[in-house]
Every structure is written in C-alpha cells, then in structure tokens.
Structure 1
Amino acid sequence: MSFVQTTPEFVAAAATDLARIGTTITSANTAAMGPTSAVLAPGADEVSASIAALFDAHSQVYQALSAQAAAFHSQFVQLMNGGAMQYAAAEAANATPLQTAAAPASMAAQVPTMTAG
C-alpha cells in the first residue's frame, strides 16, 4: 500500500511559484517577438532575403509553440491550485471525525482515578 503525505499550503505555494515562472517566460517571449520577427535582409541579394524570411518563419513557429506551451502551463497551474484545495478539503473532512472520536478518550483520561488505600 502506498501512502502519500502532502501539505496543501506547500502545493499552493508551488502553484504560485509556477505562475510567477510562467509570467516571466511570457514577458521574455513578448520582448523577443519584435526583434526576432522583423529581421531585415542585410543585403539586396537573394540569399540575404531568404535568410531573413527563414528567421521570420522561425519566429512565427516559435511564437505559436510558445502560445501552446503557455496554455499548457496555465492549465497546469490551475490543476495545482485545484489539487491544493482538494487536499485541504480532504484534510478538513478527515480531521473532524477523528477529533470527534478522540474526544471521549481524552475525557476519560482526565477523570481522576480512585486508588485503593
């Protein structure tokens, strides 16, 4: 049998960290879009024009893949947050019956005992 232990607060903190990383990557991709998509041909010859077109095509493919990765990342962060909430709800639901069951035992332990003297 496998036992998994987790702390919902740590899962939520990890999701927050992942969201920050995603924001940083999105900012970097946005900053790179202009310089990489508007490459001018350095010369008037066919080779220069072809290389500039190749860089432009590469930039467009990169931005499309980046958008897909950002969407996946966003879904992953949402799932992490949802998982943290589910763990917290399960912990709360499981803690209540245990506290109720433990209450009579703790009361019995507090009752003074009579000793034969």
Structure 2
Amino acid sequence: MTARIQLAIGIDEEASDVKITRSKDGDTSVAVFFFDSPNCMSGANAGNNEILGMYMIDEEGQMVTRNVNAKFINGKSAGIEAIHKLNGQSEWERFLRFMNRYAEANGMSLNKA
C-alpha cells in the first residue's frame, strides 16, 4: 500500500509543502501541511466533497487530524492548511515512518532549516 493523504475520503492529495517543528525536549511536535490546489476543491464535484479532517494512510493504518483550514482570497480557494500535533516519542516515530513513505511515493525531499 502506498502512503497517501486525503482531505475528503477517497480523494488522494499531494502536499505542496510540509513544515515540521519539535520541542527541545522532544515531547511535542507539530507538522503543518500545505495544499495549494487540493484535488477535493477542484473539478466538477468540488462543492460536493466534505472535508472533515486530514487522513494520513499507509500500511500501518491511519492517522487523523481535524485541524484543517481552507484559505480563500477574494472568494476563491487559495489552498488548505492542516496542522497535526504529535505527543511523545512513539507518535513522532510513527509520523516519521509515514512521512518517509509519503515522501518516497511523491518525490519529496527533506530540507533542514
């Protein structure tokens, strides 16, 4: 199974950018995903898709965040931002495994600050 992200169930998305921060003690981390032109907001069925969260799906299962915000400029869609909070080492490690799979499947690479 290929790692994928969905904002509306059944519609795969490709993140335009992902920014990850981690506290110095490693207890909390935040990943912010940006989608410039999400598939769920374009095409004939754009108005019929229900965005209830961001679903990160791979062979280990599914991680979900409900912190998803649409951006609009002059009444037109300007993308979606999703924030995924991670607590503790085990959630961090699970997230990294997913991101490695997702990056490989979508030709993404890591750029350290």
TM-score after normalising by structure 2: 0.25
- Which has the larger Rg? 1
Structure with greater helix share of residues: 1
Q: Considering Cα pairs closer than 8 Å and 6+ residues apart, tell me whether 1 or 2 has the greater RCO.
A: 1
TM-score after normalising by structure 1: 0.24
Structure with greater strand share of residues: 2
